[in-house]
Amino acid sequence: MTRHPVLPDGWRLVALESVGSTNDEAMKMADAGAAEGTVVWARQQTGGRGRRGRRWVSPVGNLYSSTVLRPDCPAPRAAELGFVSALAVADIVPPGRAVRLKWPNDVLVDGGKVAGILLESAVDQSGLVQHVITGIGVNVAFAPELPEMRYPGAVLGGSVEDALEGLAESLAKRLIQWRRDGFPAVREAWLAKAGPLGATVDVRLGEELVRGRFSGLDGEGALLLETESGPRRIVSGELLGRAA
């Protein structure tokens, strides 16, 4: 039984059967002036994209949605919306299941990756963000196996419609929190659901592999590590351990 999902007041749903990538569609709409809260949702994607140029296998059954955001902030702050989005996904995980946020934007449930987030921004000449697309893929019905996946997949359960409604509602609330209280509040909420401080993690930075103890997030969302050779601040990389 399928039904039309209901989104928060003022939000708009663009529902598609099939599309290459909902992020591309949402970016086109945002470039043409679509308002914050425009959500592009497709039952399947034929060219779903993940981070680091990976593909995101997207058959019917899981959730693929991309939301237009207009944060009106300088470009370096756009990355904060990845943490806002990850918290919004964590909010829809049923109670009783173990949620863990993994830097920068993954959501693990019971040790498996249940959702991935692809944030893409358009920045104007003065360095202000024009719009950000937060593309969120949630394994609702099944976890596609991919050779490049470093984690087992996990499944949220329930229906795609319920997941989309819950996600839009929690994203709207988390955006209010971000605008009202700023990144410090988001960072604190994110850290409360991340791996324990002090846990040893490995981070891949291109060819380099850095091992250190997770010591938090800085005010810009960079990963902080205590390594044998001293503190390291990591802006972009891939966390290989399960902690953090």
Q: Which residue type does 124 have? A: D
Minimum CB separation of residue 97 from ligand BTN in Å reads 19
Nearest residue to ligand BTN, by Cβ distance, number only: 116
Interface size with ligand BTN, residues (CB under 6 A): 19
Minimum CB separation of residue 103 from ligand BTN in Å reads 12
**Neighbouring residues of 186: CB distance < 8 A, sequence distance ≥ 6:** 80, 83, 84, 87, 174, 177, 178
Minimum CB separation of residue 226 from ligand BTN in Å reads 26
Residue 203 CA to residue 155 CA, distance in Å, equals 25
The H or E element spanning position 214 is strand 208-217
Residue 8, preceding peptide bond in cis (omega within 30° of 0): no
Torsion of CA 172, 178, 183, 186, to 10 degrees: -50
Does 54 engage in binding with ligand BTN (CB under 6 A)?
Answer: yes
The H or E element spanning position 186 is helix 183-192
Minimum CB separation of residue 115 from ligand BTN in Å reads 8
Minimum CB separation of residue 198 from ligand BTN in Å reads 26
Does 88 engage in binding with ligand BTN (CB under 6 A)?
Answer: no
Task: By CB under 6 A, name the one of 21, 67, 170, 215 that touches ligand BTN.
Answer: 21
Task: By CB under 6 A, name the one of 101, 118, 163, 175 that touches ligand BTN.
Answer: 118
Beta carbons of 43 and 172 less than 8 angstroms apart = no
Using CB under 6 A, list all residues that contact ligand BTN: 21-23, 45, 48-51, 54, 56, 64-66, 116-118, 135-137
